[in-house]
Amino acid sequence: MFARAFPVDQAAPSPIPSARLQRISQPEPSSRSRGVGLWPSCSNRNGGSLLAVPEGANREEANQEEERRARLLADLRARIAGLERHDRHHAHSAGPHTAFEPSTQTARAPAAAPSWTLGVPEIDHRLAGGLNAAALHEVKGEGGGTSAGDWAAALGFALRLTLRRLNAREFRFAGAPARILWCWPSALARELGRPYGHGLTYLGLASSSCLFVETARVGETLWAMEEGLKSQSLALVIGVLPEVALTPARRLSLAAAGSLTPCLIVTDPRAPAAGSTATRWRVGARKSAPHPFEASAPGTPRYAVALERCREGALTIEASSLVVEWSDETHRFRVASRLAHRAPAPRRAGLGAG
């Protein structure tokens, strides 16, 4: 198209005298004339300068920009240091909290996790005084998981632990009663049946204090549990799940520790044990105690409770597995009456004589 191509750096007529301006490809100390220096503002495709700018004005603007940046960095450093000092002071006075929540939520959280016991001295002693109220705990049925009775025993034990948690201390957040968050996938809800309001009231749990979350997938259940723990406005978070992998269990454990809120998971007895748990319980139903006034009526429910894992203390054969019964009057567990402090059977007269 063009018969001849001219180089980009070719000199061109300029209204400014050549004695005052020069076109240069690179800045050189010798590129000065009559006290006016030249500084390339930007480069063209061949590396040459497109515009000639007085060097003194450009350097003055660069110095001003550097001073402005230095002031901005100093101001940011001062603000970050102030925020860190505020966070350390707030964490010391109000306890740990998550970084994604406003300060109003932190003020609603309890200053310390209250004690959470079963009421059975033989078990509470092995738990270093009680369950860790800022950790993850797992409950499993003792059977193979093929019958609804295995799930029912684990859920019944978990609900009674929930009542013990509420009775451990009056949970009040900004004048509102304590809330229990119950999360599970729809598949398990259809298989096991949903909680019954009158049954919860008979047990001692007000149905108005329970928040039920039913999700389509297990991942959504885990997400709802973690967010509930981070809210720092719940007394307990319960999750009924087929199983919990290591990474979600670790996230729930960290959220429980950060918010001082316990998390209780009830999982399939056939599934592998969850990781990052403070305790793991294996629970089975036993024949109820005799009714005090009617022999044909069922008495207090009984559970065979095996403590399979305890991060706080060592396990022993005597304390790791016990048959306990629940008292509806005192809302506490106790060792079954026929098994509690049972003395050895007396030896028959004449045994071993002659």
The secondary structure of 145-199, three-state, reads CCCHHHHHHHHHHHHHHHHHHHHHCCCEECCEECCEEEEEEHHHHHHHCCCCHHH
CB atoms near residue 238 (< 10 Å) = 25
* pLDDT at residue number 65: 85
Q: E-assigned strands of 171-329?
A: 172-173, 176-177, 180-185, 210-215, 236-241, 263-267, 279-286, 302-310, 321-327
* pLDDT at residue number 89: 47
* pLDDT at residue number 45: 52
* pLDDT at residue number 59: 78
Successive 10-residue mean pLDDT values, the chain, 354 residues: 47 50 49 44 51 60 85 83 60 41 40 73 86 94 78 94 82 64 95 90 88 96 96 94 96 95 95 94 90 81 92 62 88 77 47 41
* pLDDT at residue number 79: 80
- This prediction's pTM: 0.64
Instruction: Please check whether residues 88 and 126 belong to one and the same domain.
Output: no
Instruction: Please check whether residues 75 and 141 belong to one and the same domain.
Output: no
Q: How far apart are CA 322 and CA 304, in angstroms?
A: 6
Reported as a single tens digit per residue, the pLDDT across 115-146 is: 788 988 888 888 888 899 999 999 999 876 56
Pairing of strands 32-33, 36-40: antiparallel
Give the CATH number of the domain where residue 139 resides: 3.40.50.300
Task: Tell me whether residue 49 is in a domain.
Answer: no
* pLDDT at residue number 178: 81
Nearest to 159 by CA among 125, 204, 198, 123: 204
Q: How far apart are CA 56 and CA 48, in angstroms?
A: 20
| Structural domain of 168 | 121-335
* pLDDT at residue number 320: 61
Task: Tell me whether residue 326 is in a domain.
Answer: yes
Q: What is the CA radius of gyration of the chain?
A: 36
Task: Tell me whether residue 172 is in a domain.
Answer: yes
**Which residues, in sequence order, are bridge partners of residue 241?**
267
Instruction: Please check whether residues 66 and 204 belong to one and the same domain.
Output: no
* pLDDT at residue number 245: 96
How many domains, in total, are found in the chain?
2
Q: How far apart are CA 137 and CA 290, in angstroms?
A: 31
Instruction: Please check whether residues 66 and 177 belong to one and the same domain.
Output: no
